[in-house]
Every structure is written in structure tokens, then in C-alpha cells.
Structure 1
């Protein structure tokens, strides 16, 4: 399964099974297993780099099983083929999002005007508190 330029996941690392689905399908819904379960073993995969795997683990959320596999369940279509395509499309989109490395944050200092506003506010509070204080007994 081709994900992006230079990234391809072999079919041997994917496992597809079909189970009975709730939802639309009429009487067929009780007879035919149309919901697709696509399982991708992230821990044993050799197609992805370790950094991509770490980002994918973070993005997967509750789709990540305790064994370290990503489980995507598609049941929005009435046919096995439609659900299979939907599950594959969702896995590809998830992996593509993990392929993009986040930009490192550049630390910045607050602008001079912001510093001045902050200090002016502090001065205002200071003068207000000075007015509240009892006068000194300097004679």
C-alpha cells in the first residue's frame, strides 16, 4: 500500500478482517460481515522510521492496541469493498500526518512595547497599594 513518495507499507504488515456491522443494510446487516477491521502492526513494521513511529503512536490515540497495533474499524458503507477502501484511506491519512515532522519552536523574547506595558501596569498597582498604606510616624 503506497502512502507517500518513498513510503510504502507491504501488504504482509497489514491484516484485514470483516465483522458484522450495525447501521444501514436492511436484512443484509444480520447476514453479511461488512464492517472492515484493518490492523497495522506498528511495533514490528520495517517500513517506517522510528521518529515516524513515535509520532504515529501519539496520533493514534485510542486506535492503538496494547500489543502496539493500530486498529481502524470502518463501517460506514454497506459493502465490504467500500469499508475496506475507507479503512485503508484513513490509515494512509494517519500515516501521512505522522510523516510531517513538527517544526522546532524558536524561543522568542517579548517585544519592548509589551515589556513596557507590563512594567507600567506594575507601577500602577504599586502606587495604588502605597496609597492604601498607613502613613509613617516620622516626626
Structure 2
């Protein structure tokens, strides 16, 4: 995972909700902003993949913005927003391994056929005969 946290800029604002005087005076909410297109850490392919996977989160200017106002301190909110952004980009750039198609082995095929024969014989033996 590439650590692009040096490219992230931060903007602070006043949090909403309960908190008394602290909410009215201190700018504790933090918005982490990252420009996907201008990143030096990712290739063009990775950037296009990030843009496609996170298209609902990226605005018209190509900025990925994450806001955190969970904590009462600006520093903690900055940490939360940064971690959330790093996780989001990590999951967007993750590529799954291609599944390699395989044939069942000869032993597996034989075992399946034997089980079918046993089941067939069992059902055949249940028939009522005169």
C-alpha cells in the first residue's frame, strides 16, 4: 500500500451537534482533501481505477473529500479522516487474483460415479417385489 498522506490537504470547520461552548468556539471538524489526478504516487491505470471505484465520492474538480467530526479534538479527527481515506483508496486499488479453471481429478470423478451407483442400488432394493 502506497502512503500518499503527504499529498492530502486539510480544512477545518466547526462541528455540529452537542458539545456546549467547545462546539461554538473551536474548529474541530476536519475535511481531508486529495486530488486524485495530480497524485505522484499512483500510475495512470491506478488513478483511473480509483476514479472509477470512488466516482460517487470524487467531486467535479477531481477531489476526494472525507470529513470527520466524531472526536472532540481536531488532531483526532485529522487522524480518523486520513485513515479512512487511506483505507478507501487501498480497497479501490486492490485487484483480485484471477481464478484458474481446473478439471476434477480422475479419482474425484470415479468417487462421484461410485456414490451414484451405491445410491441407485439402495433405492432399487427398496422396491416391493412379489
Matched, 1:75 2:49: no
Matched, 1:23 2:17: yes
Q: Tell me by how many angstroms 1:86 deviates.
A: 0.6
Residues 53, 105 of structure 1: CA spacing in aligned structure 2 closer, same or farther, 3 A cutoff?
farther
Matched, 1:86 2:80: yes
- With the length of structure 2 as denominator, give the TM-score of the two structures: 0.68
Which residue in the other structure is 2:116 paired with?
Answer: none
- With the length of structure 1 as denominator, give the TM-score of the two structures: 0.64
Residues 82, 10 of structure 1: CA spacing in aligned structure 2 closer, same or farther, 3 A cutoff?
closer
Per-residue Cα deviation, 1:46-87 (whole angstroms, up to 9, x for no partner): 111222212211232432111101011111111101110110
Which residue in the other structure is 1:120 paired with?
Answer: none
Structure 2, unaligned stretches of length 5 or more? 102-130
User: CA contact under 8 A between 1:24 and 1:78: conserved in structure 2?
Assistant: no
Residues 36, 10 of structure 1: CA spacing in aligned structure 2 closer, same or farther, 3 A cutoff?
closer
Which residue in the other structure is 2:48 paired with?
Answer: 54
Moved over 6 A (4+): none
Q: Distance in 2 between matches of 1:51 and 1:41?
A: 16
Aligned-CA RMSD value = 2.0
Q: Tell me by how many angstroms 1:106 deviates.
A: 7.7
User: How many aligned positions are there?
Assistant: 101
Q: Distance in 2 between matches of 1:37 and 1:23?
A: 17
